[in-house]
Structure formats: C-alpha cells, structure tokens
Structure 1
Amino acid sequence: MIFNTTTYLVLGILLREPKSGYDIVKELASFRPAKSSQIYPILAKLEANGFVDCTQVQQDGKPNKKVYSVTSTGKAKLEAWLDTEPEPPVIRDDFLSMVYSVWIKEPETLERLIKDRKTYMEQRLDFFTEKLAVMEASFPADIHNFYSWRHCTRLLYSRRIAMTAQEIEWCNDVLKDHALARRTTEA
C-alpha cells in the first residue's frame, strides 16, 4: 500500500478517536480538505492491510455506520512517518494564479477578487477562532499538555488564525493601494 500525507492524516485523526468516513472528512475540512471519494478508498485499503479495524454501528432508520479505529500496526506506521522529513510545502491556490494575471482585465476585476477573498478569509477567521475558543473552554488543561492531541490541534488552529489574519491584512493593503492608484490615474 502506498501512503500519502492524506493517508497519514486519516491515521492521526483515528488515533484521536474512532470515527466514520464522514466524520473524517469533516475533521479534515479544517486543515487539509478532502472529499469522501478520497477518504473511503483510503479507509478500505487501510483496513485491508491491517492498519485500521472497522466496526459496524447500528443506527435507527439509517444504514449501519462503519466506525474505524487504528491498529497497533497503523500507529507504528504513523510513528515511523513522524521521524521522516516533510516534503516542501506546495501552495495551489487558484486565487493567487488569478491575481498573477488580473492585469489584463479592468481594475474592477482585481478589486472584486480581493474583496471576495477578504470576505472568505473573514469567514474562515471566525470559524477557526470559534473552534479554538470551544477547545479552550472545553479542555483547558489538555490544550497546554504536550502529550495531548488537543495541544497539537490547538497549535494548528492558532497557526490558521495567524495566517488568515495576515491574509486579511494583505487584502486591506491591496485595496488601499488599488484605491490610491485609481485616484492617481483619475487625477
């Protein structure tokens, strides 16, 4: 079985607590969004290779739910991966690609792109801030305990908040520069 970063993330999520494929997709949405069509085949391969176990949970009026948990083999595989060097980060962002070439359009296109991005980032900032606040209120001791998975999750939420706030600041700077350039051009 070939492991990629998403496969290791699935193991990391399941080590925190057993979850269904649907719950894994929801958990990944905060850090590395993935679709169900990616996660379910990963879970099937992990189960077939003995890295996770699956339990059927009965639900009233719904089909049974599969809940996955990590085996000792799966935990060992994740631990071994944590001793390797991460690959260099790759940022694939259509927005940045559009900003790169927006000069061929009217100035209003750039303004629309930046305003839309700022609105999106403000929503994400609210989302991450709320998630962090819930963690801080619910698990005040765990979030500062290095050996708690909640500590690592808090670190990631804090990073997302800082990065998102910085991008909002960048959007504001671009909008100010854009407004100044327009006034200068019109004068």
Structure 2
Amino acid sequence: MYVKRIVITGYRASELGIFQATDKKITIIKKSLTSQVRQFIEDGYQWFLVGGNLGIEVWGGEVVLDLKKEYPEIKLGVLFPYLEFGSNWNESNQQLRDNLVAKADYVGSVSHAPYQNKAQLQNHSQFLLTHSDASFVIYDEEYIGKCQHFYKQARRYEERADYVVYQLTMDDLQNSVWADGF
C-alpha cells in the first residue's frame, strides 16, 4: 500500500510578527492549518512532515497531533536539518520543540552533525522533497521570508517530478480570517 506524505512549512513566527504564545494570530493560523490538514487527510495523506522551525512548522505539527484524536491513522514526522537543532533557543521555545518531539511518530535529523554550514539546510530541503509527495507552504512572494528557499526549490522540483506544491498566501490567510468572523 502506498503511503502519501506531505511537508508542512512556511514562515517563522518572528517573520509574522509573533513573539508571544498568546498572540491571536496563532489561533487564526492554526484554524487555517486545521482546515487544510483535514482536506489533505481526506485526500489520502497519512504522514505529515515538519522541520521543527518555530512558526508554521511547529504550529502545523501541533495541529496534526490535535487531529490524531479524530484521525488516529495519521502520523507526524519531525525531521530536523541537523543535530542539536534549536539548542540555542530560549527555554520556552525549546519546550515547544520538545513537546512536539515527545508526541511525534518519528523524529530524526537529516545531518548527523551539529550545525556546520548552510549546505545542511539545502540538503534538508532536498531530503524533504525527495521523501514526500507534496508540500504545503504558507508563503507569499510579496512577503519574503526564510522559507522562500524551500518554496523555490519545491517549485523547481515540481516541474521535473511527480510532485505537488500547495500554497497558502497572505491573501488566503486574510480571507480565512474574514470567513471565520475574526
């Protein structure tokens, strides 16, 4: 039986102006993520892969874990780019990472060494692309962020492989806010 896998990625929390766990924007983003992940589950995706960055990836992982209550067959994989990822974060952010890791179905790192250079990040993106069937990227070309590198690499990969890049833009997020009555 073929297992469908999708990468969830996008902006870092700081790129969205989110610096507190109580920021209302997180609720809005998670609501959009929940809607999309539900659709992906209905489309047959079973594994949801995140890289562990603070922001869309952590919130996406949390949404997948919440949805496991309804869909126990889905799985969460956390694939860090390198060993000791996030070890320099503050204590509350490390706790977010550790909570995700503790509940994930699979945890690993693409590079088996601590951070050395940006090639590890490029290899991480390539690994995620070649070990998934699709990507869901919250990214807007008008609002540049660190995820632009993955997004561009994924779009190039989509042109030459049997691969799909799903994208949610800032306008899409804004529309979901109005649709939900926020």
TM-score under structure 1 normalisation? 0.27
Identify the structure with bigger relative contact order (alpha carbons < 8 Å, sequence gap 6+): 2
Compare CA radii of gyration and give the structure with the larger one. 1
TM-score (norm 2): 0.27
Higher helix share: 1
Q: Which has the higher strand share?
A: 2
